[in-house]
Homo-oligomer: A and B are copies of this chain.
Amino acid sequence: MSTDLARLSLNQATCEACVAHQVPHIGVWRHKLEGDSEEIWGKRIRDAGLGCSSLCRGGMFPAATAEERRRHIEDNLKAIDQAVGLGTDLLVLVCGGQGGCDLDSARAMVLDGIGAIERHAAKCGVRLAIEPLHPMFTADRSVIVTLEHANDFCEKLDVAHVGVAIDAYHVWWDPHVYREIGRARGRILGFHVNDWIAPPPDVLRGRGMMGDGVIELKRLRAAVEEAGYTGPIEVEIFNERLWSKPALEIVERVKKAYLANC
Chain A residues with a Cβ under 8 A of chain B: 97-98, 102-103, 107, 134-136, 138-140, 145-146, 148-149, 172-175, 196, 198-200, 203-204, 213-214, 216
Contacts and interface: CB of A to CB of B under 8 A. Distances in A.
Contacts of A203: 136, 199-200, 203
A198 B135 contact: no
Contact of A107 (B134, B175, B204): B175
A238 to B, nearest CB: 13
Given A102-B216, A103-B216, A216-B103, A139 B198 contact: yes
Overall SS of chain A's interface: loop
A174 B135 contact: yes
Interface centre among A97, A139, A204 (most CB of B within 10 A): A139
Contacts of A146: 175
A216 B148 CA distance: 22
Contacts of A200: 136, 203
A139 B172 CA distance: 10
List the 9 closest pairs (A to B, CB-CB), nearest first.
A139-B198, A138-B173, A135-B173, A140-B198, A136-B136, A139-B214, A135-B135, A149-B175, A140-B199
A190 to B, nearest CB: 21
B139 A136 contact: no
Nearest to A171: B135
Contacts of A174: 135
A149 B98 CA distance: 25
11 contacts: A97-B198, A103-B173, A107-B175, A135-B135, A135-B173, A136-B136, A136-B173, A139-B198, A139-B199, A145-B175, A149-B175
Interface centre among A148, A173, A196 (most CB of B within 10 A): A173
Contacts of A102: 216
A196 B139 contact: yes
Contacts of A97: 198
A145 to B, nearest CB: 6
Contacts of A107: 175
A164 B19 CA distance: 53
Nearest to A170: B135
